[in-house]
Amino acid sequence: MALTFDRSADVSKLEGCNTRGIEYRWSIFLDQIAHIPRGCDALDVGAGSLRESFDLVGRGFNVTSLDNDANTLASYQAKYSWPDNGTTHDLVATGDLIDALRQIDKRFALIICFDALEHLEDPTCALRAIKEKLTHDGLILVTVPNGRTLFELAFRFDLIIARATKRYLRPGEPHLQRNSPERWKAIITDAGLKVVAHDMEIGFFANTFAAIVQLPLTFGGRVLRKLGIRVNALDLSERIINGPQATVLDRLDKRTKPLLRGLYGWNLFVISKESS
């Protein structure tokens, strides 16, 4: 089966991501995980290609991976050499996140939810359901996009067009949320949770350059395919984005982060229950 958004060969987002031609690395998540004992239970919500689930198992966690398609999860599971370190790894798949959480009858010291909430109609409801599966002193780690970026503006425009023209959208793929960092914080608070730490990653200049290259090629490639012309627009855009300018853009982003962090691509959140 065709596997989309395959991150199995990338670094785990617990520690970074290789994107926009840059090897991004961060410590906000690993600093927190270091205080959680090995052998604890962890839940990976929106597990996708299981890259973070594999990382957590290697760190000694008993992991439950949750997503909406059992066949996709099984296909990704077969791509890894899972360590024989006494841990367990369970797969839970159903088309509805709330129903999936109800199937799980234990609580977790660590819950990760990477690149998932933006795909939901009601992220506040989802966070409330996730909170019910968290131990009293547990942590939730979240990544969500910044709705102020050119990528997210384009995704929203494409969603509007797709709905107007009744173009098929694969379940779980479109970004249904386009929120600023402040709005994401309000959503977390409304769910009865507390932001312990927050950072922004994927710099403004590198992210914007990637959007200027990738978006026209992607939409243009879609039009050409309709005309029967096959073109790998994604591969072409990646070759351009990964060029020598990426290092320069990354250097510029690091110098200007205090000024432009509100326009960075991704939010990284560490979250706890309000009483923690």
Alpha-carbon distance 165 to 92, whole Å?
34
* H or E element that contains 230: none
- DSSP bridge pairs for 109: none
Give me the tens of pLDDT residue by residue for the chain, a chain 276 residues long.
Answer: 556 678 999 999 999 999 999 999 999 999 999 999 999 999 999 999 999 999 999 999 999 999 988 999 999 999 999 999 999 999 999 878 888 898 899 999 999 999 999 999 999 999 999 999 999 999 999 999 999 999 999 999 989 999 999 888 887 789 999 999 999 999 999 999 999 999 999 999 999 999 999 999 988 877 777 778 887 877 889 899 999 999 999 999 999 999 999 999 999 999 999 865
What pLDDT is attached to residue 275? 65
Continuous H helices in 191-244? 204-226, 233-241
Complete domains list, the chain, with CATH: 16-273 (3.40.50.150)
For 38-78, list the strands marked E by DSSP: 41-45, 62-67
What pLDDT is attached to residue 2? 53
As a residue count, the chain comes to 276
* H or E element that contains 90: strand 89-93
Alpha-carbon distance 112 to 52, whole Å?
9
Helices then strands, counting H and E runs in the chain, come out as 10, 9
Helix (H, G, I), strand (E, B) or coil at 46: coil
Q: What is the pTM of this model?
A: 0.93
How distant, in Å, are the alpha carbons of 124, 202, 208, 232, 273 from that of 255? 35, 13, 16, 34, 35
Alpha-carbon distance 83 to 81, whole Å?
6
Alpha-carbon distance 31 to 35, whole Å?
8
